[in-house]
Amino acid sequence: EANASGLPVIAGNSGGAGEAVQNGQTGLLIRPDSAEELATAVLTLLKDVQKRQQMGQAGRHWVETEMNWERTAQKFIELLDQTSE
């Protein structure tokens, strides 16, 4: 949702976050159990306006190009093709 809104993401590197966040490009991945990494990530984005804006724009672009029905259908067809070989 943050990516779709043009905002950078800070997420714990677990579950599907690694697929949803491109570390250093669309947001920052941190160890889920590290308050220190969370604080560092928040401060990094607060202090660096340009980085924050670039990550937000990159996240928005990623959502628009990769997370749409056309791209999802294409990936599904490719998966079906692979399983039928």
The pLDDT of residue 38 is above 90: yes
Would the pLDDT of 19 be above 80? Answer: yes
Q: Which of 48, 52, 64, 44 is nearest to 26 (CA)?
A: 52
The values of phi and psi at residue 28, to 5°, are -125, 130
Give the separation between CA 8 and CA 52, rounded to whole angstroms: 6
**What distance in Å separates the CA atoms of residue 67 and residue 83, rounded to the nearest whole number?**
22
Provide CATH code, domain 9-83: 3.40.50.2000
**pTM of this structure:** 0.80
Average pLDDT, the chain: 94
pLDDT in tens, 51-70: 999 999 999 999 999 888 99
Cα separations in angstroms, 4 against 13, 26, 39: 19, 11, 23
Sign of CA dihedral 77, 6, 54, 34: negative
